[in-house]
Chains A and B, each alone.
Chain A
Amino acid sequence: MANGFSSISGIAAPYLRSDIMIDYIAAPGVGMHDHGQADAEPHDHPRPEDMDSSTRRVSHAFEFERYLPDGSENPESIFNQAPYRNASILLAGRNFGIGGTHSPAAALLLGCGFRAVIAAGFGPVFYDDCIQSGLFPVILEGKYVRALAALTVAAPRLEMTVDLELQTITRPDSGPIPFQMNPRLLARFMHGLADEDETMPFRDEADAFREAQQLRQPWIYRTHGDPR
């Protein structure tokens, strides 16, 4: 589980294209499961270190557009342009990271320096992955994302701040823009909690439930008594 944080300031990169599929951020599949994957879990959550450039060219987020076929940087990609190449906040469009699969996309974005993504909407699996990985996802109405992008383009070197405690996004040239977030997920992110950190306190209740369920629905527990 990644360490959480309560505030992040940095340069923002405007990248407002809609429907960016998770595989466009990080292509899935080939080779990912071929390297030390036995310890990765859930098993379709490969870690960036599981990927090897000899079997899999994808080791950077947005590799498809950041690099040309000959391996050199594509100067047209915003991620290769100053000052955005040092950005830590990504401004994204609608349905960012759609595609129903767990993927290293969030980890790869972290790997290239992003700590927060502000989007007009996320793919639900990717959103969960972000929280798990320590990449802070902010859902903001499209018009506010566009306004932030416009400010960014006008003054790209001004730092943007995402404050998790105040639940605001600020820039020196704009007032705070509030955002909403599920309080549990917010707390979970800030404290870097994993599922078991949240479920452990319920172990006694879980035991009581189990006892009751064994009486009520015994067939669920009869999987190993049957003759083979």
Chain B
Amino acid sequence: MKRREFIKTGIGAGVGCGFVPVQSLFAQQAAGKTLFDKIWEAHEISFLGGVTSVLHVDRMMLPDSGPSSIRRLLQAGEAIRNPELVWAVADHQVSTSPERYTNRSLNLGSVADEFPEMKEQLAAMGIQAFGIDDPEQGIQHVVGPETGLTLPGMLMVAGDSHTCTHGALGCVSWGGETAQNVLLTGTVIRERARNLRVNYVGALGPWVRGKDMILHTIGTLGADAGNRCAVEYAGPLVRSLSVEGRMTICNLSIEMGAATGMVAPDDTTFEYVASREFAPRGALWDQALAYWRGLPTDDDAALYRDETIDMTDVEPQVTWGISPEHVIGVSDRIPSPDDAPFEKRDAWRRALEYTRLTPGDTIADTPVDEVFIGSCAESRIEDLRAAAEVVRGRRVAPNVLAWAIAGSQPVKRQAEAEGLDRIFRDAGFDWREPGCSKCYGSNGELVAQGKRSVSNSNRNYVGRQGIDAITHLVSTPMAAAAAIAGRIVDVRKLMAGEIA
């Protein structure tokens, strides 16, 4: 409390720099802060009482609908506050068809027609923009970390709800902000979230990945467990994950209702960030690194809630319903609403009605019509490699429509350099261009009406991927296995040759 009054006084008195007192007080207070609190406080422009603050934004990501908001601002004669901190990428409104470059009408919305022109305007304003023809184009939550536009310690915001993905690098990131406000003021006004830490212990079994960790967590704690919380994923299992795996975990934080998700930066992070295109170099790198090393949560930090998830014996996960919390292990049977907590029975009944599954049946062997590998949850090189390992030398089952989509052009180039595209194509997968669309059923890229899709994405809501379409969320290798078998199968059994 004292600290905050100090900041406010400092600014009010026209000291000109509201931050310096915070830093000096950091030095005085030996410990007791979380990663989230440190980053929040380092961006506090003004504390408004209660838990509300006005915060400085280090990065604003405009989605491809953003240029319109910029155009509106320009027409209104308003200045964009910190254009060098804003970037834009075409992802939601682009087709993933390989023909999208020649047949621009495949792309919906303004991007295809207007982005080249907008891009010039954006560039003139100092805004970095990646259009459909740019070598860095991709899904924003893949592009940010990959280009080094996302860095540890930052506060980054966007409209898109999966912005929480970037927290894997040890920054604070959230969606739901309006471009209008951030462009005009370079700030956001928010209520401070509470600290929820999820500690992962135990060991990951074969073919159990970050996706299974987070799905199991949401199943265990509930889809509302993260309400008003910043979730920090911690523990030795998280430390052992690559940054890509951490991004998958953070990506689904919003599916737990969380304000954001994050992983403390460590050597794995720094190694990932170093040499990225927009990452600092030389002396600036050293300066940044020294700062980033001070970000992890202090041992004696106070937490709102501390949970431990034991991954021992946790199987590859599969959702059976219409919420990410409707999740079981691949050997489990479909649960009965009668076994649900009383207040969830109704929801479970509705879920099973929608997914047309019968309690008591195994989730395994459920026939599938489509398989979707793509999305901001898992479409990075490591995910594609894992899927390719499953697919290699096998064929997609007849009557299954299987798509594989790299999350960005760099991921796609890397995959092609490694020959992964050949593996997917030879097996009968469609190898497509980076973009979001089938994950949320846009640009005409839908799961066919009433069909069942096994997807490595993050949302299985009613109608998410298509009208009456059913989505089973799984990890990328599990999705690949389903494509091969034509039904939901345990990837471990497929790889052990126990499934024909």
A100 close to B257 (CB less than 8 A): yes
A29-B347 contact in complex given A39-B68, A99-B323, C-beta closer than 8 Å:
no
Q: Which residues of A contact B344 (CB under 8 A)?
A: 18-19
| CA gap between A182 and B343 in the complex, in Å | 27
Per-residue 0/1 for B162-182: is the Cβ within 8 Å of any A Cβ (1 yes, 0 no)? 000000000000011111110
Among B158, B159, B284, B343, the residue within 8 A (CB) of A19 is B343
Q: With a CB–CB cut-off of 8 A, which chain A residues contact B453?
A: none
Cα–Cα, bound, A31→B170 (Å): 35
- Residue of A32, A34, A101, A224 with most partner-chain B CB within 10 A: A101
When chains A and B are docked, how far (Å) is the Cα of A80 from the Cα of B444?
Answer: 33
Q: Which of B23, B110, B446 contacts A216 (CB 8 A)?
A: B23
Nearest residue (CB) in A for B461 is A23
In the bound complex, do residue B463 and residue A210 qualify as a contact, i.e. CB atoms below 8 Å apart? no
Surface stretch bound by B, among A153-161, A166-174, A199-207: A199-207
Complex alpha-carbon distance, A125 and B228, angstroms: 9
Interface flag for A180 (CB, 8 Å) = no
Q: Report chain A residues within 8 Å CB of B277.
A: 226, 228
Chain A, residue nearest B284 (CB): A219
Q: Contacts A33-B93, A209-B45, A220-B154; is A28 near B63 (CB within 8 Å)?
A: no
Partner of B442, one of A34, A57, A220: A34
A-B contact count (CB 8 A): 249
Question: Is residue A60 contacting chain B, with contact meaning CB distance below 8 A?
Answer: no
Chain B nearest CB, measured from A143 CB (Å) = 14
Q: Is B461's CB under 8 angstroms from A101's CB? A: yes
Chain A 131-177 interface residues, beta-carbon cutoff 8 Å to B? none
- Which residues of chain B have C-beta atoms less than 8 A from A220's C-beta? 58, 85, 151, 154
Contact B161 A213 (CB under 8 A): no
Q: Which residues of A contact B347 (CB under 8 A)?
A: 18-19, 21
Name the distance in Å between A188's Cβ and chain B's nearest Cβ.
9
Contact yes or no, A208 B17, CB < 8 A: yes
Can you name the residue of chain A whose Cβ is closest to the Cβ of B464? A29
Complex Cα gap A228–B20 (Å): 34
Contact status B187-A41, CB under 8 Å: no
- Which residues of A lie under 8 Å from residue B160 when comparing CB positions? 42-44
Q: Report B-chain residues with C-beta under 8 Å of the C-beta of A182.
A: 50, 52, 191
Q: Does A198 belong to the interface (CB within 8 Å)?
A: yes
Q: Does B319 contact A (CB under 8 A)?
A: no
The answer to whether A206 and B45 have CB atoms under 8 Å apart is yes
Residues from chain B with a CB closer than 8 A to the CB of A41 are 65-66, 68-69, 159, 178-180
B16 at interface by CB-CB < 8 Å: yes
Residues of A contacting B20 in the complex (Cβ-Cβ under 8 angstroms): 212
The reply on A102 being an interface residue by CB < 8 A is yes
Known: A101-B254, A228-B277. A21 touches B322 (CB 8 A): yes
Contact between chains at A42 and B284 (CB < 8 Å): no
Asked if A24 is at the interface of the complex by the 8 Å CB criterion, the answer is: yes
How far does the alpha carbon of A84 sit from the alpha carbon of B56 in the complex, in Å? 46
Q: Does B35 contact A (CB under 8 A)?
A: no
Tell me the minimal C-beta distance from B311 to chain A in angstroms: 23
B186-A206 in contact (CB<8A): yes
**Across the interface, do B109 and A33 meet the contact criterion of CB distance under 8 Å?**
yes
**Given contacts A210-B186, A219-B280, A220-B85, are A43 and B63 in contact (CB under 8 A)?**
yes
Residue of B nearest to A129 (CB): B176
Considering the complex, give the chain A residue whose CB is closest to the CB of B184: A196
Q: Are B65 and A98 in contact (CB under 8 A)?
A: no
A34-B442, A218-B284, A219-B151 known; A206-B159 Cβ under 8 A = no
Cβ B93 vs Cβ A195 within 8 A: no
How far does the alpha carbon of A209 sit from the alpha carbon of B64 in the complex, in Å?
Answer: 29
Residues of B within 8 A of A128 (CB): 176
Task: Report chain A residues within 8 Å CB of B476.
Answer: none
Q: Is the CB of A195 within 8 A of B81?
A: no
Separation of A146 and B106 alpha carbons in the complex (Å)? 51
Tell me if B48 counts as interface (CB < 8 A to partner A): yes
Interface status of A211 (Cβ within 8 A of chain B): yes
Cβ of A226 and Cβ of B180 under 8 Å apart?
A: no
What are the residues of chain B within 8 A of A17 when measuring CB–CB? 346
Q: Smallest CB–CB gap between B48 and chain A, Å?
A: 7
A23 to chain B, nearest CB (A): 4
Per a CB cutoff under 8 Å, which of B46, B87, B92, B149 touches A202? B46
Question: B34-63 CB contact bits vs A (8 Å, 1 = yes)?
Answer: 000000000001101010101010100001
Per-residue B-contact encoding for A96-131, CB less than 8 Å = 1, 0 else: 001111100000000000000000000111001000
Q: Are B189 and A195 in contact (CB under 8 A)?
A: yes
Q: Is the CB of A44 within 8 A of B161?
A: yes
Complex interface: chain A residues within 8 A of B63 (CB): 42-43
User: A29-B463, A102-B161 are contacts. A37–B109 as well, Cβ < 8 Å?
Assistant: yes
Which residue in chain B gives the minimum CB-CB distance to A224? Answer: B84
B461 touches A99 (CB 8 A): yes
For residue B278, CB closer than 8 A to chain A, the reply is yes
CB distance from B183 to the nearest CB of A (A): 9
Name the distance in Å between A28's Cβ and chain B's nearest Cβ.
6
Q: Which residues of A contact B499 (CB under 8 A)?
A: none
Residues of A within 8 A of B186 (CB): 206, 210
Q: Which residues of A contact B257 (CB under 8 A)?
A: 98, 100, 123-125
A184 to chain B, nearest CB (A): 6
**Which residue of A has the minimal Cβ distance to B342?**
A18
Instruction: Report the bound CA distance from A23 to B17 in whole Å.
Output: 45
**Smallest beta-carbon distance B96→chain A, Å:** 14
Which of A24, A93, A212 makes the CB contact (< 8 A) with B462? A24
Contacting residues of chain B (434-462) with chain A, CB-CB under 8 angstroms: 440-444, 446, 459, 461-462
6 pairs, A vs B, C-beta closer than 8 Å: A33-B93, A37-B108, A100-B161, A102-B175, A208-B18, A211-B17
Which residues of A are interface residues toward B (Cβ below 8 A)?
Answer: 17-19, 21, 23-24, 27-34, 37-45, 57-58, 64, 93-95, 98-102, 123-125, 128, 182-184, 194-196, 198-200, 202-203, 205-206, 208-213, 216-224, 226, 228
Question: Which 4 pairs of residues, A with B, have the shortest CB-CB distance?
Answer: A42-B159, A219-B280, A195-B181, A212-B17
Additional 11 contacts, C-beta under 8 A, given A43-B66, A123-B257: A23-B461, A29-B441, A29-B461, A43-B65, A101-B161, A184-B48, A195-B178, A206-B186, A206-B187, A212-B18, A220-B154
